[in-house]
Amino acid sequence: MGKRVKKKQRIRKRQRKAPPKKKLKFAHAIWKLYKVENGKIVRLRPTCPKCGPGVFLADHGDRFACGRCGYTVFKAAAASK
Protein backbone atom coordinates (compact mmCIF):
# COMPACT_ATOMS: atom_id res chain seq x y z
CA MET A 1 0.00 0.00 0.00
CA GLY A 2 1.96 2.90 1.30
CA LYS A 3 4.40 3.83 -1.34
CA ARG A 4 7.12 5.78 0.15
CA VAL A 5 7.66 8.97 -1.69
CA LYS A 6 11.02 10.34 -1.14
CA LYS A 7 10.96 13.89 0.00
CA LYS A 8 12.96 16.12 -2.17
CA GLN A 9 16.00 17.13 -0.27
CA ARG A 10 16.62 20.78 -0.47
CA ILE A 11 20.19 21.41 -1.26
CA ARG A 12 21.36 24.50 0.43
CA LYS A 13 23.05 26.77 -1.94
CA ARG A 14 26.31 28.03 -0.78
CA GLN A 15 26.17 31.56 0.31
CA ARG A 16 27.76 33.87 -2.10
CA LYS A 17 31.03 35.17 -1.01
CA ALA A 18 31.09 38.88 -0.59
CA PRO A 19 33.04 40.55 -3.38
CA PRO A 20 36.43 41.78 -2.32
CA LYS A 21 36.39 45.35 -1.29
CA LYS A 22 37.99 47.60 -3.78
CA LYS A 23 40.83 49.62 -2.52
CA LEU A 24 40.07 53.26 -2.49
CA LYS A 25 41.98 55.10 -5.12
CA PHE A 26 42.42 58.77 -5.24
CA ALA A 27 40.42 59.83 -8.22
CA HIS A 28 41.91 63.24 -8.64
CA ALA A 29 45.06 64.48 -7.05
CA ILE A 30 44.06 68.06 -7.50
CA TRP A 31 46.31 69.29 -4.75
CA LYS A 32 49.26 68.09 -6.76
CA LEU A 33 48.30 70.29 -9.67
CA TYR A 34 48.56 73.54 -7.81
CA LYS A 35 51.40 75.27 -6.14
CA VAL A 36 51.36 78.45 -4.19
CA GLU A 37 54.21 80.82 -4.72
CA ASN A 38 54.26 84.18 -3.02
CA GLY A 39 50.50 84.05 -2.55
CA LYS A 40 49.90 83.28 -6.21
CA ILE A 41 48.53 80.01 -7.49
CA VAL A 42 50.76 78.34 -10.03
CA ARG A 43 49.39 75.51 -12.12
CA LEU A 44 51.88 72.70 -12.55
CA ARG A 45 50.02 71.10 -15.45
CA PRO A 46 49.01 72.60 -18.75
CA THR A 47 45.30 73.09 -19.25
CA CYS A 48 43.22 71.92 -22.17
CA PRO A 49 42.64 74.60 -24.82
CA LYS A 50 39.46 72.85 -25.93
CA CYS A 51 37.81 72.30 -22.57
CA GLY A 52 38.98 75.50 -20.99
CA PRO A 53 41.18 76.46 -18.06
CA GLY A 54 39.36 74.17 -15.63
CA VAL A 55 40.52 70.96 -17.27
CA PHE A 56 44.07 69.80 -16.83
CA LEU A 57 46.08 67.65 -19.18
CA ALA A 58 47.38 64.41 -17.76
CA ASP A 59 51.10 63.79 -17.75
CA HIS A 60 51.87 60.63 -19.71
CA GLY A 61 55.62 60.87 -19.72
CA ASP A 62 56.20 61.99 -23.29
CA ARG A 63 52.92 63.76 -23.83
CA PHE A 64 50.07 65.56 -22.16
CA ALA A 65 46.57 64.27 -22.75
CA CYS A 66 43.12 65.55 -21.91
CA GLY A 67 40.93 62.89 -20.33
CA ARG A 68 37.77 64.73 -21.28
CA CYS A 69 38.08 65.44 -24.99
CA GLY A 70 41.17 63.42 -25.93
CA TYR A 71 43.32 66.40 -26.77
CA THR A 72 46.98 65.38 -26.78
CA VAL A 73 50.11 67.49 -26.83
CA PHE A 74 53.53 65.93 -27.21
CA LYS A 75 56.15 67.38 -24.93
CA ALA A 76 58.71 67.51 -27.73
CA ALA A 77 56.38 69.68 -29.79
CA ALA A 78 55.51 71.87 -26.82
CA ALA A 79 59.14 72.38 -25.88
CA SER A 80 60.19 73.41 -29.38
CA LYS A 81 57.78 76.32 -29.39
**One-letter amino acid for residue 3 of the chain:** K
Short-list 42, 41, 49, CA closest to 71:
49
What CA–CA distance (Å, rounded) separates 58 from 68?
10
69 binds Zn ion (CB under 5 A): yes
Task: Sketch the per residue contact string, 1 through 40, with Zn ion: x for CB under 5 A, - otherwise.
Answer: ----------------------------------------
Contacts with Zn ion, 37-56, as mask; x by CB under 5 A: -----------x-xx-----
Nearer to Zn ion, 4 or 28 (CB): 28
Closest Cα partner for 68 from 43, 48, 44? 48
